[in-house]
């Protein structure tokens, strides 16, 4: 696996691939890789000839009181895991590569309020602007043909789809299903913040989501009641839910029509960790 750190080197590498007619897939990450990330790589390998992953902890997408300083940085292990998985290249840029001085706030990307004022965006002001800005920059640098993102961060996936559409970027976005631990907990770099006891409690996020999904599948139309029930279940298990919401899958608006495709999304605090998950109906 080639490891590149600078904009110049990554551009030269991807250019070489493109010149020989190869299709390039990109998997952006913040590192501390787990099996969920590696599934994105595996999917990318099936869809393209070359796969490049990035590891960059983006300061712009963290709020002031969030875990930017403590976010696990494990580049050596990440690089070994990516190489084992057969990834062709790893882009590990510095802040100066991603945000050179001439890149001022003028270039910050602001997705529409309808996507950023709700759910995670309501509790993490500026987060999705930070995500859109870094991903636009990474796409401009790497210039992939496709990019793979996890459905675990479903709101983020829709922000990226909006970005590609609005900026008319010539690449395809692929969503990959959430990879879970054996007991259903969605894999996340933030799971490592959990104590053993909290880890046992965390499993109730997925079991409660499954129960809520089943209620709706069995015909429950009162989504507010489903949300309240799910929130109470999480609280009873020892979590502090931030939001619990039944939404329209296509745009995360509130459901309107009977045949809307739905998704249930949850964010909850447990100890120092903030965990998110969702389930499609």
Residues near ligand AMP (CB under 6 A): 29-30, 36-37, 39-40, 149-150, 152-153, 176, 178-179, 186-189
- The separation between CA 200 and the C-alpha centre of its own chain, rounded to angstroms, equals 23
In whole angstroms, how close is the CB of 57 to ligand AMP at the nearest point? 9
Q: Are strands 262-270 and 24-29 parallel, antiparallel or unpaired?
A: unpaired
37 is an active site residue: yes
Nearer to ligand AMP by C-beta: 186 or 216?
A: 186
Query: Which stretches does DSSP call E strand in 6-64?
Result: 24-29, 50-55
Longest Cα–Cα distance of the chain, Å, equals 58
* Chain position whose Cβ is nearest to ligand AMP: 150
Nearer to ligand AMP by C-beta: 115 or 179?
A: 179
Nearer to ligand AMP by C-beta: 18 or 161?
A: 161
Where does residue 281 rank: exposed (0-12), middle (13-18), buried (19+ CB within 10 A)? middle
In whole angstroms, how close is the CB of 129 to ligand AMP at the nearest point? 16
Output the six-digit token pair for 111: 């997705």
201 Cβ partners below 8 Å, 6+ apart?
237, 238, 239, 270
Options 18, 37, 127, 269, the catalytic residue: 37
In whole angstroms, how close is the CB of 6 to ligand AMP at the nearest point? 21
CA distances from 47 to 152, 160, 165, 220 (A): 20, 19, 21, 38
- The separation between CA 66 and the C-alpha centre of its own chain, rounded to angstroms, equals 16
What is the number of helices (H) and of strands (E) in the chain? Answer: 10, 9
Nearer to ligand AMP by C-beta: 12 or 177?
A: 177
Nearer to ligand AMP by C-beta: 188 or 204?
A: 188
In whole angstroms, how close is the CB of 106 to ligand AMP at the nearest point? 25
Output the six-digit token pair for 118: 């709700």
- DSSP H or E run through 228: helix 223-237
In whole angstroms, how close is the CB of 40 to ligand AMP at the nearest point? 5
- If DSSP codes are grouped into helix, strand and coil, which group holds residue 254? coil
Nearer to ligand AMP by C-beta: 72 or 229?
A: 72
267 pairs with which residues across the strands?
A: 243, 276
Q: Are strands 50-55 and 24-29 parallel, antiparallel or unpaired?
A: parallel
In whole angstroms, how close is the CB of 253 to ligand AMP at the nearest point? 21
Q: Which residues are catalytic?
A: 37
């Amino acid at each position: 696996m080639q490891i590149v750190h600078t904009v110049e080197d990554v551009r030269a590498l991807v250019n070489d691939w493109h010149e020989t007619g190869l299709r390039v897939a990109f998997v952006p990450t913040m590192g501390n890789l787990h099996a969920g990330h590696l599934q994105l790589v595996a999917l990318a390998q099936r869809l393209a000839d070359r796969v490049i992953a990035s590891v960059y902890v983006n300061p712009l997408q963290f709020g002031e009181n969030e875990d930017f300083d403590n976010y696990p940085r494990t580049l050596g292990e990440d690089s070994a895991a990516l190489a084992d998985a057969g990834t062709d290249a790893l882009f590990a840029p510095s802040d100066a590569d991603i945000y050179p001085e001439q890149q001022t706030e003028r270039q910050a990307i602001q997705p529409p309020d309808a996507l950023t004022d709700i759910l995670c965006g309501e509790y993490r002001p500026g987060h999705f602007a930070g995500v859109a800005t870094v991903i636009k920059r990474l796409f401009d640098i790497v210039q992939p043909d496709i990019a793979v993102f996890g459905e675990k961060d479903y709101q983020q996936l829709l922000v990226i789809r909006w970005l590609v559409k609005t900026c008319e970027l010539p690449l395809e976005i692929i969503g990959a299903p959430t990879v879970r631990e054996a007991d259903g907990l969605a894999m996340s770099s933030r799971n490592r913040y959990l104590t053993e006891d909290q880890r046992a409690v965390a499993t109730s996020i997925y079991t409660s989501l499954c129960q809520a999904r089943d209620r709706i599948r069995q015909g429950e139309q009162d989504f507010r009641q489903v949300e309240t029930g799910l929130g109470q279940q999480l609280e009873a298990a020892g979590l502090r839910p931030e939001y619990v919401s039944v939404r329209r899958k296509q745009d995360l608006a509130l459901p309107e029509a009977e045949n809307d495709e739905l998704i249930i999304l949850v964010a909850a605090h447990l100890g120092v960790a903030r965990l998110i998950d969702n389930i499609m109906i």
